[in-house]
Amino acid sequence: MPPTSPAPLTVGFDLDMTLLDTRPGIRATYLALSAETGTFIDADLVVTRLGPPLVDEIRNWFPEDEVARATDRYRELYRDHAFAPTVALPGAHAAVEAVRAHGGRVAVITGKYEPNARLHLEHAELVADTVIGDLWAETKGDALREHGASVYVGDHLGDIRGARHADAIAVCVPTGPYSARELREAGADVVLADLTGFPDWLAQHLAEC
């Protein structure tokens, strides 16, 4: 039999606090939702625990019969308040470009509402081959597996769970709510100080494959 060619490189990236610092925009959106609904929301607290599904956070502030409506309204307000103050985290553009330099594909797999995730990437001038939203932990792993991603880059313990679920390498950066030590203890395969170290890590990883 002729030798089989290796699978093409696909690297998955989380969005919030991995590629983009979305905290200012998320904070602004929650403040707008609070002002509009008259419901107190501690926006400064909210932005310290980004990662889990939006509906989980909304439930902390609204009664269950208002959660669906508040979630929909948050997503609408997001477009007016969140994109302008959001910035790419250090090394984000270089990390995406490094994947492409090795002939790979970039898949952004995020818990964020997918249409807003796409608009975020467009605003930040980050180009992904695939964008899949509304996923968390193991469901991120399902998407990673579906798209053949061998590496997943994130900042949250849920991202590690997703990578594990897909048998992908969990590369983490402590730019979100968890420290480097916490990420290692949770099972991250690689912890980088930030994404500026990702191109060198990727080159070394591919050389060893």
SS3 state of residue 120: helix
Predicted pLDDT of residue 7: 73
Q: Residue 68, Cβ neighbours under 10 Å: how many? A: 12
Q: For residues 173 and 153, is the Cβ–Cβ distance under 8 A? A: yes
pLDDT tens for each residue of 155-166:
999 999 999 999
Q: For residues 152 and 173, is the Cβ–Cβ distance under 8 A? A: no
Report the Cα–Cα distance between both ends of the chain, in Å, rounded: 22
pLDDT tens for each residue of 20-66:
999 999 999 999 999 999 999 999 999 999 999 999 999 999 999 99
DSSP label at residue 16: B
Predicted pLDDT of residue 80: 97
Q: What is the pTM of this model?
A: 0.95
pLDDT of residue 5 exceeding 60? no
Task: Give the pLDDT band (50/70/90) at residue 185.
Answer: very high
Please name the amino acid found at residue 73.
R
DSSP label at residue 89: P
Contacts of 181 (CB under 8 A, 6+ apart): none
> How many whole angstroms separate alpha carbon 99 and alpha carbon 26?
28
